[in-house]
Amino acid sequence: MSKLGTLGARLHHGEIGYDFVKNRKIWYGVSILITITAILGLAVRGLHMGIEFQGGAVFTTPKNMSVSVATAEGYAEDASGHDAIVQKLGDGTMRIQVAGIDTQTSDKIKDTLAEDLKVDAEQINAELVGPSWGEQIANKAWQGLGIFMILVVIYLAIAFEWRMALAAFVALIHDITITVGIYALVGFEVTPGTVIGLLTILGYSLYDTVVVFDSLKEQTKDITKQTRWTYSEIANRSINSTLVRSINTTVVALLPVAGLLFIGGGVLGAGMLNDISLSLFVGLAAGAYSSIFIATPLVADLKELEPSMKSLKKRVMAKRAQGGDAEEPQTVAAAGGDDDDEPDDAAPAVVGPRSQPASRTRGRGRPSGKRR
């Protein structure tokens, strides 16, 4: 843990770092490839909509049934002529879902199931779900998503600038597309829990992005008054200075969600946990990725198109050409470093937090710390 803290401090002060912005074309390519795969999966396989969205019937059996889930699923499919989903609940009952049937058909399936399962028909509880209810949920979800997107773009445009708002919007679309595409590829059932999970990840996706944007905004004040750093290099410093915090918060958020998904849904067989946990797990991971590899590099690309930033970049490059390697950022495959090597004729403006290490011998042995 101490090593991680030391690494975070060194990243924050720019002593080491990785050049995320310089390698942005790689990250863009990876994201495009993943997004295309997700869209193809969505187009080919489609989403497996739950009964709440299709309509149908839900049958609940008595406790401690002697038949297995696979056997009950076969009985339900034979009785209904439709695909059935069977889940064993924690109290020992079975929940059997059959989509696309009406009330009259539901009664016949109930009687057939009671005969196959060797129980009284009165012991099986049947509930009919209309498709209009699921349609209302879907419409409200889309409305909520649209309102959320509009408010986010307006807020970021006011708090930061329109380029950051656009980059955050692209990152959100990226995260949602990947999450929905993976849902289609995996084949999990889409339920109201899935919708809740998708809406929840939007906030997590924006968290890291806003943290980096806030650091970037602070470090680029009066950027044109200096000739040491380009906008892209400062953007890269902002990513590195918040990198460890982003990793820590993402890992802490992923651990309980992974427990729900892999232990609760996989090992214990609580299938209903998969609905929300998969969307949360994929969305959290995609959100952390997009804030580091997509949103901030995209802002740097947009800013570098400004005439003032182009002029700054020319001046920085010209000064480095005159001064040799002394003006190059100190890196480990990246931008970063100390400012102590800056020549006396460098611009006085300071961009971002800078650390000036004190002399090791200054004031040694003198209580006042003053030189004689």
Whole-number pLDDT of residue 362 = 46
The confidence score (pLDDT) of residue 16 equals 66
Q: What is the pTM of this model?
A: 0.71
Q: Is 275 helix (H, G, I), strand (E, B) or coil?
A: helix
- For residue 192, what are its two tokens? 């109201």
Helix (H) or strand (E) holding 299: helix 296-303
Q: Tell me, what's the pLDDT at 355?
A: 43
CB 297 within 8 A of CB 24: yes
Q: What Å distances lie between residue 343 and 158, 225, 286, CA to CA?
A: 38, 16, 42
Phi, psi torsion values for 127, nearest 5 degrees: -125, 130
Taken in order of first residue, the domains within the chain and their CATH numbers are: 2-49+133-307 (1.20.1640.10), 56-129 (3.30.70.3400)
Mean pLDDT of residues grouped by 10 in the chain (372 residues)? 59 68 90 92 84 81 81 85 77 80 79 86 81 73 84 90 92 90 84 80 82 88 87 89 83 85 61 74 88 91 91 90 56 40 38 44 46 42
pLDDT score of 165: 92
DSSP letter string, 16-72: S---TTTTHHHHHHHHHHHHHHHHHHHHHT--EE-HHHH-EEEEEPPSS-SS-HHHH
pLDDT given for residue 345 in this prediction: 38
What pLDDT does 117 receive?
84
Exposure string of 298-318, with b = 16+ CB inside 10 Å and e = fewer, is: bbbbbbbeeeebeebbebbee
pLDDT of residue 145: 81
Q: Per the structure block, which two tokens stand in for 148?
A: 């959320």
What pLDDT, on the 0 to 100 scale, is given for residue 262? Answer: 76
